[in-house]
């Protein structure tokens, strides 16, 4: 999929991937502050992944984040099983990149498929429904954006439109990461295959995750929106429209 650079020069692609991969390595190598080492993310990767996909595109963002978390997990080991779960970060970066470029159909398909598989998994019926409330909010927001884009077209990157695009893209990307990890943990049965947890223990994990993880999502969304405003404007001046092919796009 990485050959789809839409006219982007190979040298630009390589340089952007390299720079953002290094940034992701540093972020994933640093443990989070006290009290934030539970929930989905143990490092600072959740602050960097959304803006990576937004700035350099879904495919380059996926590759940069994948390199970053792979190397970062060797620098700051979290156990062999975490290499599987951390694939959620590259997926989240890719989803943020797709959303920012108005490619909502791909994102909607991803959310719908994983949520459907989750709800047909028997053990999911024993878990509290509110434990994934932030994912439901992201899915509802995605549906609203899909309807609006289907009628009005992709984002208009003026001031207010850019802020909305950044916040929505970051939020849906982060929750796509969360959803992937949930998919591996529950429908994938790794809660007992890897960790030997019982359903009762899984319920307790669900309660803790419903508090800590959304806080991190809000923090990352705010950071992405704040730093994204000047960064997007700067990137649009120096790189081709590959990075921001929004106006006049189809949203497909």
Confidence class for position 40, pLDDT limits 50, 70, 90: confident
The domain in which residue 93 lies consists of 10-238
| Residue carrying structure tokens 């143990």 | 42
Residue 251 located in a structural domain? no
Assess if residue 243 is contained within a domain. no
Query: Is 126 within the bounds of a domain?
Result: yes
Asked if residue 4 belongs to a domain, the reply is no
Quote the pLDDT of residue 157.
62
- 246 part of a folded domain: no
Q: For 41-95, write each residue's pLDDT tens digit.
A: 888 999 999 999 999 989 999 999 999 999 999 998 888 888 889 899 999 999 9
Residue 70 is assigned to a structural domain of this protein: yes
Pick the closest to residue 36 from 178, 215, 171 (CA basis): 215
Q: pLDDT at residue 107 above 90? A: yes
| The total number of structural domains that make up the chain | 1
201 sits in which H/E element:
helix 199-238
Where is average pLDDT lowest: 111-125, 169-183, 195-209? 195-209
pLDDT at 81: 84
Domain contains 247:
no
Distance between CA atoms of 18 and 23, rounded to whole angstroms?
9
- What pLDDT is attached to residue 251? 45
229, part of any domain? yes
Query: Which distant-in-sequence residues (6+ apart) come within 8 Å of 118 by Cβ?
Result: 124, 182, 183, 186, 187
The residues, any chain, with a CB within 8 Å of residue 31's CB and separated by 6 or more, are: 37, 42, 43, 76
Q: Kindly report the pTM of this predicted structure.
A: 0.88
Tell me the C-alpha to C-alpha distance, in Å, between residue 54 and each of 39, 59, 184: 24, 10, 25
Query: Please, which pLDDT band fits residue 34 given cuts at 50, 70 and 90?
Result: low
């Amino acid at each position: 999929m990485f050959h789809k650079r839409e006219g982007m020069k190979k040298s630009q692609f390589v340089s952007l991937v390299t720079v953002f991969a290094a940034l992701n390595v540093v972020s994933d190598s640093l443990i989070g502050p006290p009290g934030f080492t539970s929930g989905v993310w143990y490092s600072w990767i959740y602050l960097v992944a959304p803006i990576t996909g937004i700035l350099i595109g879904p495919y380059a963002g996926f590759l940069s984040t994948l390199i970053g978390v792979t190397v970062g997990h060797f620098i700051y080991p979290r156990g062999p099983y975490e290499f599987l779960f951390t694939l959620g970060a590259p997926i989240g970066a890719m989803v943020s990149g797709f959303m920012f470029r108005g490619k909502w159909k791909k994102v909607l398909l991803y959310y719908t498929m994983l949520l459907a598989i989750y709800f047909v998994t028997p053990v999911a019926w024993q878990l509290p429904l509110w434990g994934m409330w932030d994912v439901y909010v992201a899915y509802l927001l995605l549906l609203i954006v899909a309807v609006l884009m289907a009628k009005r077209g992709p984002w208009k990157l003026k001031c207010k439109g850019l802020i909305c695009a950044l916040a929505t893209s970051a939020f849906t990307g982060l929750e796509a990461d969360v959803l992937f990890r949930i998919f591996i943990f529950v429908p994938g049965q790794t809660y007992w295959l890897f960790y030997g947890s019982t359903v009762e223990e899984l319920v307790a994990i669900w309660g803790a995750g419903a508090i800590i993880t959304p806080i991190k999502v809000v923090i990352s969304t705010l950071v992405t929106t704040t730093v994204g405003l000047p960064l997007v404007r700067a990137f649009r001046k120096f790189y081709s429209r590959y990075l921001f092919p929004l106006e006049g796009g189809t949203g497909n």
